[in-house]
Copies of this chain bind each other. A is one copy, B any other.
Amino acid sequence: MTSSIPVGLLGALDPTSDRAVFRQIADQLREAIDKGRFKEGEKLPSEADLVEHYGVSRMTVRNSFSILQGEGLVHSEHGRGVFVRPRPPVRRLASDRFSRRHREQGKSAFIVEADAAGSKPEVDSLEVKEERASHDMSARLGSVRRVLARRRRYLLDGRPVEFATSYLPLDLARNTPIAQPNPGPGGIYARLEELGHHLDHFDEEIRARMPSPAEVKTLRLAAGVPVIHLIRTAYDTEGRAVEVCDTVMAADAYVLSYQLPAT
């Protein structure tokens, strides 16, 4: 007995079916996972086990696993096995997360929230730099040539969950606390208001897509995990766009939540 894994939880192949063998195997594994016969974090039967159980070649089994991996259901660890991917705790982003009320406290929303949820928050790879505005950024900020870019990465319990860059018109941010790595209590929105730019409203654009290889690296994303791409523009009471925040989030770690009036 080379395996202590209950391969018996799986059925047999239907040779009369039109469905490809590797799809049938993937279907059976998926069903077993969905029905909880394999639990979160649990090890699936090894490739060798499945080769023996189904009487197919190893590449066929690997093909099945690659389907499930693409669906984000499992992940493999070299030398250890293939595991049911655990659902990470999600972070809820409410639409009122930038209200002045929340800004009063000294700590950032991210830290407060994470502490409340019992996870350890970190912010790293902070970079504050002057840059040429990209074409898109220039359009969003109103024909601005140069911008101040503030980049940072957010982690929960050591896992990167979000990578964000704020862009501000350089004429507005230069030589202000906003250009400091730590802009102080209440973050850059508090500083903007102190500088006389009273915030009026935000526009948020939301997309979802598969990550680029760079994003996979930065967010240490597992296969089959999309990203949520959120672009927020902050406008002051004079209608000027004073900041654009470009955020890429690991989709399995987030639920966005908005409350809309029924006007």
Contacts and interface: CB of A to CB of B under 8 A. Distances in A.
A257 B205 contact: yes
A255 interface: yes
Nearest to A207: B255
Contacts of A201: 259-262
Nearest to A202: B260
Interface string A184-208: 0000000000000001111111111
Nearest to A216: B71
A227 B226 CA distance: 9
Contacts of A262: 98-100, 199-202, 234
A226 B206 contact: no
A210 interface: yes
Interface string A230-258: 00001000000000000000011011111
A207 B260 contact: no
Contacts of A205: 255-257
Nearest to A206: B256
A204 B94 CA distance: 10
A11 interface: no
A76 interface: no
27 contacts: A30-B213, A71-B210, A71-B213, A72-B210, A95-B258, A96-B260, A96-B263, A98-B262, A99-B262, A101-B263, A200-B262, A201-B262, A202-B262, A204-B258, A205-B256, A205-B257, A206-B206, A206-B257, A206-B258, A207-B254, A207-B255, A208-B227, A208-B228, A209-B251, A210-B225, A226-B226, A226-B251
Smallest CB-CB A-B distances: 6 pairs: A208-B208, A226-B226, A199-B262, A208-B251, A206-B256, A72-B210
